[in-house]
Amino acid sequence: MKPRARELGLRPGQFAPGKLNAITDVAGVLVGQVTKLEGEGIRSGVTAILPHGGNLYAERVPAGLAVINGYGKLAGATQLQELGELETPIVLTNTLAVGRAVEALVDWTLERNPQALSVNAVVGETNDGRLNDIRARGIVDEDVLAALNSARDGAVEEGSVGAGTGTVAFGWKGGIGTSSRKLPAALGGFTVGALVQSNYGGALVMDGVPMGRALGKFYLKEHADKGDADGSVMVVIATDAPLSDRNLGRLALRSMAGLARTGAAFSDGSGDYAIAFSTHPQVRRPAPEGMVADWPNEKMSPLFVAVAEAVEEAVLNSLLRATTVESRDPATGKKRKVEAIDIEAVRAVLSAHRPE
């Protein structure tokens, strides 16, 4: 098993992680994944995040959205922004599978809600066409349904799995990563968890160490290499803090600070999206006894710090846990390969920058 960031001594920020250091440290959150490896070309998958295990259409959760660069196909985004709530799980997949994922998510929701006449299916994506034969449309309804139906709590598989199977980040193999932060009781005692689908570029920084420059792979190297900049990233944030959709939007926006700390280029061809939701039972819609007061604005700052830290570490975990992936280009017949980051090289750089 490849190491996570903390096993290499990387500990971004100041707050401690939850027990699992995963989005599932937020009680009730479930994650399901399907990894699709078929023939020499299909290298893709699906990751589903459920805010709770009940009927989400009947017990909706408040949510907020932040977009830095909108080069993406986030289905359901406008209604999410308008109403500030989720009525379906969040599904992540590849760019050309969004339509099929929406259909499957609608079917899954309608089956559980015979009275429903409208469903706002939320499906995010990144483009894994560098490794995946994306035009073959290898993701089908059954894959999405399998991810939804297999969702569970506990540890979350990371790296080249689920919606991260074919992704590339900073020129190395990207993937799914997760992390969490637990605030001390004096600051509310809440948990913030993040899950990322990393597929973006820039100059990789690991907990302040300029790893990309040290290993010779970064955006604008010699003012010519543009290949490691474009891409996209989906960030999903869960918290048990009783936040309104307004403050969840603020929380989602601050998650981008975590991406910035990893060296993100936020380039023209990158889609940078974050969705944040609250699982607190008193802010569900409809709430058992009506809506509770929003967590005060003046007490939001610790949550802002926590989300940036969790997102930063989730990205590092996505890279460190990823494995090398190979495929064949259907157009040219040539083999394609994206290497996982060299763990021993990372150790050496960290040792040089942080001598004992």
Tell me whether residue 329 is one of the annotated catalytic residues: no
Q: What is the 3-state secondary structure (H, E, C) of the chain?
A: CCCCHHHHCCCCCCCCCCCCCCHHHCCCCEEEEEEEEECCCEEEEEEEEECCCCCCCCCEEEEEEEEEEECCCCECHHHHHHHCEECCCEEEEEHHHHHHHHHHHHHHHHHHCCCCCCCCCEEEEECCCCCCCHHHCCCCHHHHHHHHHCCECCCCCCECCHHHCCCEECCEECEEEEEEEECCHHHCCCEEEEEEEEECCECCCECCECHHHHCCCCCCHHHCCCCCCCEEEEEEEEECCCCCHHHHHHHHHHHHHHHHHCCECCCCCEEEEEEEEECCHHHCECCECECCCCCCHHHCHHHHHHHHHHHHHHHHHHHHCCCCEEEECCCCCCEEEECCCCHHHHHHHHHHHCCC
**Mean pLDDT computed over 64-93:** 98
Give the active site residue among 25, 128, 143, 272. 272
Q: How many residues are given for the chain?
A: 356
Contact 10, 353 (CB under 8 A): no
- Catalytic, out of 244, 267, 270, 327: 270
Beta-carbon count within 10 A of 7 CB:
12
pTM, to two decimals: 0.96
Domain 5-346: give its CATH superfamily.
L-amino peptidase D-ALA esterase/amidase (3.60.70.12)
Is 245 among the residues known to form the active site? no
For the stretch 232-287, pLDDT in tens is: 999 999 999 999 999 999 999 999 999 999 999 999 999 999 999 999 998 998 87
Q: Which one of 44, 160, 232, 318 is the catalytic residue? A: 232
Q: How confident is the model at residue 220 (pLDDT cuts 50, 70, 90)?
A: low
Instruction: Note if 270 is an active site residue.
Output: yes
Above 70 in pLDDT, residue 228? no
* Mean pLDDT for the chain overall: 94
The yes-or-no verdict on residue 356 having pLDDT over 70 is no
Sequence-distant (6+) residues with CB within 8 A of 58 are: 113
- What is the per-residue pLDDT across 137-177, written as a single tens digit (0 to 9) for each? 999 999 999 999 999 999 999 999 999 999 999 999 999 99
